Amino acid sequence: MSAGKPRSDPSSIRCAMRSLTASIQRHIAWIATGGTIAGAGTGTVYAAGTYDAETLLARLGLVPPLPLRPSEPYRIDSKDATPAHWRQLRDALQMALAAPDCAGAVISHGTDTLEETAAVLALTLPAPVPVVLTGAMHPADDPHADGPANLVAAFDLIARNALPAGVWLAFAGRVFAALGVRKVHTTALAAFADPTLDGEKAKILSAMAPPLLPFPDPWPEVALLPCTAWDDPNTLSAARARGAAAAVLLAPGNGSLPDVWHKAIRDAVHAGLCVVRASRCGWGAVTPHPLDEALGTVPAGKLSAAQARVAAAIVIAATNDPSRRRTLWQHVLS
């Protein structure tokens, strides 16, 4: 789905902000969390999460101010995000969305772990209005900063009432449903994609909301393990011994499990571990396989390994019942 052409020059951004200001009656909650979009420096040498929300607003030259309610629960480089940050963010959002005249929320965020945050919110945040995540690939000081255009596009989606309620990611002129999106490029401006769904189809399917599950407390450990024939299957029992409640296997191809791993996987599942087959391919969904029945694994479906890891933690914390977990997993993937 297109969010319209990104506008990156300062005067067109200011112009877009002014027309937004005129068009919106209710306010937009803006939750700033740092990232490159708030980074000081240029090119690839910069410090993410330097500028606070007010400084960023001033840089956008908002006159008169858009009805924004900014808040900043934390300001970090998102490579350092932990479940404690996700909890803080979810709490801040719940508070912001509780205001009766809130049209929606925009979250500015680092791109490195944007997909994890998107999955956490999609699965645990009651969102009666649209919640749009965005970020930037160039820092705020860079002459080619893409953050202002991404931010304005996110505000614009809410001001125009262009999205159904739920969690979305707007980036480089495109909009993605939260579950299934992933960062697919290390440096390009169009760094995000949904390799399994795209465009309008994503919009329609996202209307089928995923189940809302409790935010895990405590957050269970989920191991992410490389799983090819020359990786050691003992890493799975080691993860179990360390207390992991689930493991996401980063396997080749369509989540293909090497023969030498089968016994270790069967034993782990037998011991109560939830074992997810994810793919190290950047593109495509991991589809069900007869081995899932034989070994007790579940496919990652449209989820990247990073999102599968978050989803597994949330699902296993929601229930101890293996068949209920399977049902929940199916819902998450649907």
Name which of 171 and 261 has its Cβ closer to ligand ASP. Answer: 171
Work out how close the CB of 163 gets to ligand ASP at its nearest, in angstroms, rounded to a whole number.
Answer: 22
Residues in the chain: 334
Binding-residue pattern over the window 129 to 168 for ligand ASP, x denoting contact by CB under 6 A: ------x-x-------------------------------
CA dihedral defined by 108, 114, 120, 124, rounded to 10 degrees?
30
Work out how close the CB of 33 gets to ligand ASP at its nearest, in angstroms, rounded to a whole number.
Answer: 9
- Tell me which amino acid residue 161 is: N
Q: Are 308 and 278 in contact (CB under 8 A)?
A: yes
Residue with tokens 């994890």: 116
Q: Which of 121, 113, 92 is nearest to 49 (CA)?
A: 113
Work out how close the CB of 154 gets to ligand ASP at its nearest, in angstroms, rounded to a whole number.
Answer: 15
Query: Catalytic pick from 33, 36, 111, 124?
Result: 36
Q: Residue 279: phi, psi to the nearest 5? A: -115, 145
Give the C-alpha separation, 137 to 99, whole Å.
32
Give the C-alpha separation, 237 to 214, whole Å.
28
- Number of residues in contact with ligand ASP under rule CB under 6 A: 11
Tell me which residues in 163-182 interact with ligand ASP (CB under 6 A): none
Work out how close the CB of 38 gets to ligand ASP at its nearest, in angstroms, rounded to a whole number.
Answer: 9
Specify the stretch interacting with ligand ASP by CB under 6 A; choose among 74-82, 172-180, 207-215, 301-309: 74-82
Name which of 110 and 216 has its Cβ closer to ligand ASP. Answer: 110
Work out how close the CB of 165 gets to ligand ASP at its nearest, in angstroms, rounded to a whole number.
Answer: 26
Using CB positions, name the residue nearest to ligand ASP: 110
* CB-based burial label for 186 (10 Å; 0-12, 13-18, 19+): exposed
Specify the stretch interacting with ligand ASP by CB under 6 A; choose among 20-28, 109-117, 157-165, 209-217: 109-117
Specify the stretch interacting with ligand ASP by CB under 6 A; choose among 2-10, 56-64, 71-79, 226-234: 71-79
Retrieve residue 323's tokens. Answer: 């068949």
3-state SS class at 152: helix
Name which of 142 and 156 has its Cβ closer to ligand ASP. Answer: 142
* CB-based burial label for 314 (10 Å; 0-12, 13-18, 19+): buried
Residue with tokens 């449209």: 302
Work out how close the CB of 191 gets to ligand ASP at its nearest, in angstroms, rounded to a whole number.
Answer: 8
Active site residue 36: yes
Give the C-alpha separation, 147 to 327, whole Å.
39
Indicate whether 108 belongs to the interface with ligand ASP (CB under 6 A).
no
Give the C-alpha separation, 143 to 16, whole Å.
19
Q: Which of 332, 328, 269 is nearest to 301 (CA)?
A: 332
Indicate whether 35 belongs to the interface with ligand ASP (CB under 6 A).
yes
Q: In whole angstroms, how large is the CA radius of gyration of the chain?
A: 20
Name which of 48 and 193 has its Cβ closer to ligand ASP. Answer: 48
Indicate whether 48 belongs to the interface with ligand ASP (CB under 6 A).
yes
Name which of 135 and 216 has its Cβ closer to ligand ASP. Answer: 135
Contacts to ligand ASP by CB under 6 A: 35-36, 48, 77-79, 110-112, 135, 137
What residues act catalytically?
A: 36
